[in-house]
């Protein structure tokens, strides 16, 4: 059963990941309790969890605010993602069922449809991209990996990068997803690991270019 604290955590984290609560935004218990619809106690518990996961930080004056990430933070986030998601891809290559691979194909087809119009649909691209990566993490069948990756603050970074991608960047992402699907179909763990690592490292360079 989802507790009030879990509900508060999910909703406040969602505000941060969506960008609705931007870096530096104060995280006040009373205001957040009104937004989430719970008492201050579960909000306080949720904020402690978010602080421990580095979604929130304390100012010199002791106020809790949404964390900002400098260049070193971003590079570390991408480096950790590359290590963990490439390992997830290698595990998934040995475990994904034909039905799961078909789901990946459908997901990437949705991503490609999102960028096929006159103006790319970035919101749809982001949703399809997240679903694609989530399927791989699920397919890795590792609760540890899923938990570790869930702790990485990456969605605002992905959003910031994708909104500045040109069509060739968006298409390259789709092409790399196709390469991952080929590796999964071939049950080639080394190939899947290498493609995922390159995919995420390219995203880091794209982020830096877009910054």
Amino acid 80: pLDDT: 92
Amino acid 23: pLDDT: 87
At 136, phi and psi to the nearest 5?
-70, -45
Amino acid 16: pLDDT: 83
Amino acid 2: pLDDT: 62
CATH number of 71-210: 1.20.120.530
Which of the pair, 120 or 159, is modelled with greater confidence?
120
Query: Would the pTM count as exceeding 0.95?
Result: no
> Using one digit for the tens of pLDDT, what is the confidence trace for 38-96?
999 999 999 999 998 888 999 999 999 998 877 788 888 889 999 999 999 999 999 99
Instruction: Please determine whether the domains at 4-66 and 71-210 fall in the same fold group of CATH.
Output: no
Domain regions of the chain by residue span: 4-66, 71-210
> Using one digit for the tens of pLDDT, what is the confidence trace for 135-182?
999 999 999 999 888 777 666 666 666 666 788 889 999 999 999 999
DSSP-derived 3-state class of residue 143: helix
Range with the poorest average pLDDT among 19-23, 42-46, 107-111, 193-197: 19-23
* Number of residues written out for the chain: 211
Amino acid 1: pLDDT: 42
At 66, phi and psi to the nearest 5?
-65, 135
- Going by their DSSP bridges, the two strands 56-58 and 64-66 should be labelled as antiparallel
Q: Are 89 and 180 in contact (CB under 8 A)?
A: yes
Which of the pair, 87 or 23, is modelled with greater confidence?
87
The conformation of residue 129, written as its DSSP 8-state character, comes to: H
CATH 1.10.3090.10 fits 4-66, yes or no: no
The conformation of residue 189, written as its DSSP 8-state character, comes to: H
Instruction: Take residue 133 and report the two structure tokens written for it.
Output: 């990566």
Confidence of residue 98 (pLDDT cuts 50, 70, 90): very high
Amino acid 156: pLDDT: 61
Instruction: Take residue 97 and report the two structure tokens written for it.
Output: 């069922």
């Amino acid at each position: 059963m989802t507790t009030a604290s879990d509900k508060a955590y999910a909703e406040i984290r969602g505000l941060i990941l969506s960008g609705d609560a931007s870096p530096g935004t104060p995280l006040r218990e009373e205001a957040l309790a009104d937004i989430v619809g719970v008492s201050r106690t579960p909000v306080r518990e949720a904020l402690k969890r978010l602080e421990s996961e580095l979604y929130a930080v304390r100012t010199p004056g002791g106020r809790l605010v949404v964390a900002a990430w400098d260049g070193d933070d971003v590079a570390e986030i991408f480096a950790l993602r590359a290590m963990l998601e490439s390992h997830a891809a290698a595990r998934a290559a040995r475990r994904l069922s034909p039905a799961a691979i078909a789901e990946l194909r459908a997901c990437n087809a949705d991503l490609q449809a999102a960028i096929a119009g006159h103006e790319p649909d970035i919101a749809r691209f982001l949703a399809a991209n997240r679903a694609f990566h989530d399927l791989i993490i699920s397919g890795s069948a590792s609760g540890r990996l899923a938990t570790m990756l869930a702790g990485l603050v990456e969605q605002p970074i992905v959003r910031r990068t994708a909104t500045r991608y040109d069509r060739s960047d968006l298409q390259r992402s789709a092409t790399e997803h196709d390469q991952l699907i080929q590796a999964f179909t071939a049950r080639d763990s080394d190939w899947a690991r290498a493609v995922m690592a390159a995919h995420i490292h390219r995203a880091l360079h794209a982020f830096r270019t877009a910054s």
